[in-house]
Amino acid sequence: MLAKPAVYLTWWSIKMWSRDRAAMFWTFFLPLVIMVIFGLLNFGELGKVDVGIVDRADNEASKNFIEGLTRIDALRITTGTADAERAALADGKRDLVIALPEDLASAPGGSEIVAWYHGSRQTEARLGLTVMQSAVDELNFAITGAERVVTLTEEAVEARDLGYIDFLMPGVIGMAIMQLGLFSVAFSFVTMKREGVLRRLLATPLNPTSLLIAQVITKLIVVVIQTVILAAVAVFLFGAEFAGNFFAVLLAAAMGGAVFLAMGFAVSGWARTEQQAAPLANIVSLPMMFLSGVFFSRDVLPDILQRITDFLPLTYLVEAIRGMTVEGDTILMQWPNFLGLAVWLVVAFVIANRTFRWE
């Protein structure tokens, strides 16, 4: 007895997919190129040195000192409590944290400014420290003439090495899944519909669900392969962080894949030609590519836009993966993002079910 036609169809559709050069390009090559280019650019190293200042003295001398520092272009100065600033340093939001002692410029034997810096961000920290050293010298001069009454002590803090690639990898994985889900199904089904392939299948005893299942399984296998390749390149070539469970990330990827596949079916149901499918798929995907925190943090968006983009399916997907790879979160800890994806899956499935046509 032969196996269920759905199993055979899945096998054939994997075979077909593996011969599709265009699909290979869009699925593997393009996301890889994007990740390599953005990975090499490494936006994380651009810009100013982030210096956090803990002002324990809170006197005129310390105020003048800080005021002097804020006028230096190369530095971005923030002030806060010791705990907050050390935490920010650990999170990679500061390159250097300076603690001004309570007895700044008033201790008889001279006082000590402590500088913590990000061990992995030597370049930024050194730059900051050099600038800082001259500022300290200035302060010395101002107080005592030529005598050094204040010295600067450097102290490296072990902090997690978070770079742009760590942010980028989950973003590009999410983006690639979205593109695959939306475009592969939308285009192949519209083509099959327009050419009459689906009509020909309608003349066979094929259960339509079998064809859908075969397509979905094929594409989910591709999603997994795609995720593995992109993560491998990011981790082994660019040293990206991958703290969480690998299979949990694949589960999030597959779930996101299912959401965008359902959206792809909805698009292919509505569109009669590839010329109609292309703009619609782009209208859905383009805003998400830039508003769901793929290439840059949504923190830079205006508040209202942040609150709206919280609900985008790609936001849920990217943030779930990012939470796992960067923070080492478990699926349970990421439940709100999984719930978001689940809701989108239901919504997209209902729409696809309404719009999908065989002819």
Partner 1 sequence: MPNPISNTTKGTGPVIVVEELRKRYGDIQAVDGISFEVDRGEVFALLGPNGSGKTTTVEIIEGMRSADSGRATVAGIDVSKNPNAVKQLIGVQLQSSAFFEHLKLAELLRMLGSIYRAKVDPEPLLEAVDLAERRSASFRTLSGGQKQRFAIAASLVNDPDVVFLDEPTTGLDPQARRLIWDLAKTWKREGRTVVLTTHYMEEAEELCDRVAVMDSGKIIAMASPAQLIDQLIGRGFHREQEVRLATLEDVFLDLTGRTLREF
Q: How far is the CB of 8 from partner 1 (least distance, A)?
A: 4
**CB atoms near residue 17 (< 10 Å):** 18
Q: How far is the CB of 4 from partner 1 (least distance, A)?
A: 9
Q: Does 16 bind partner 1 (CB under 8 A)?
A: yes
Asked if residue 343 lies in contact with residue 349, where contact means CB atoms within 8 angstroms, the answer is no
List the one residue from 114, 201, 289, 342 that touches partner 1 (CB under 8 A): 201
CB of 153 or CB of 204, closer to partner 1: 204
Asked if residue 223 lies in contact with residue 180, where contact means CB atoms within 8 angstroms, the answer is yes
Residue-wise DSSP of 184-247:
IHHHHHHHHHHHTHHHHHHTTT--HHHHHHHHHHHHHHHHHHHHHHHHHHHHHHH-----S-HH
List the one residue from 33, 41, 156, 202 that touches partner 1 (CB under 8 A): 202
Q: How far is the CB of 20 from partner 1 (least distance, A)?
A: 6
CB of 178 or CB of 277, closer to partner 1: 277
Work out the angle between the directed axes of helices 164-179 and 246-270 (0-180°, nearest 10).
Answer: 40
Whole-number Å distance between alpha carbons of 77 and 75: 6
Cα-Cα-Cα-Cα dihedral sign, residues 61, 63, 64, 66: positive
Q: How far is the CB of 268 from partner 1 (least distance, A)?
A: 15
Asked if residue 293 lies in contact with residue 137, where contact means CB atoms within 8 angstroms, the answer is no
Could you tell me which of 224, 248, 251, 289 has the C-alpha nearest to residue 34? 289
CB of 202 or CB of 243, closer to partner 1: 202
Q: Does 5 bind partner 1 (CB under 8 A)?
A: yes
Work out the angle between the directed axes of helices 208-238 and 30-41 (0-180°, nearest 10).
Answer: 30
Whole-number Å distance between alpha carbons of 359 and 269: 9
Q: Does 81 bind partner 1 (CB under 8 A)?
A: no
List the one residue from 8, 25, 29, 290 that touches partner 1 (CB under 8 A): 8
Whole-number Å distance between alpha carbons of 107 and 144: 12
Whole-number Å distance between alpha carbons of 223 and 255: 10
Q: How far is the CB of 49 from partner 1 (least distance, A)?
A: 54
Q: Does 207 bind partner 1 (CB under 8 A)?
A: yes
List the one residue from 69, 82, 87, 206 that touches partner 1 (CB under 8 A): 206
Q: How far is the CB of 274 from partner 1 (least distance, A)?
A: 13
72-80, 89-97, 175-183, 197-205 -> range binding partner 1 (CB under 8 A): 197-205
Q: Does 195 bind partner 1 (CB under 8 A)?
A: yes
* CB contact set of 234 (below 8 Å; sequence gap of 6+): 35, 39, 165, 168, 169, 172, 240
Q: Does 12 bind partner 1 (CB under 8 A)?
A: yes
List the one residue from 47, 196, 328, 336 that touches partner 1 (CB under 8 A): 196
Buried residues in 237-265 as b, exposed as e (16+ CB within 10 A): ebebbbebeeebbbbbbbbbbbbbbbbbb
178-186, 190-198, 307-315, 334-342 -> range binding partner 1 (CB under 8 A): 190-198
Q: How far is the CB of 222 from partner 1 (least distance, A)?
A: 14
CB of 197 or CB of 305, closer to partner 1: 197
Interface with partner 1 (CB under 8 A), residue total 25
Binding footprint of partner 1 on the chain (CB under 8 A): 1-2, 5, 8-9, 12, 15-17, 19-20, 191-192, 195-197, 199-207
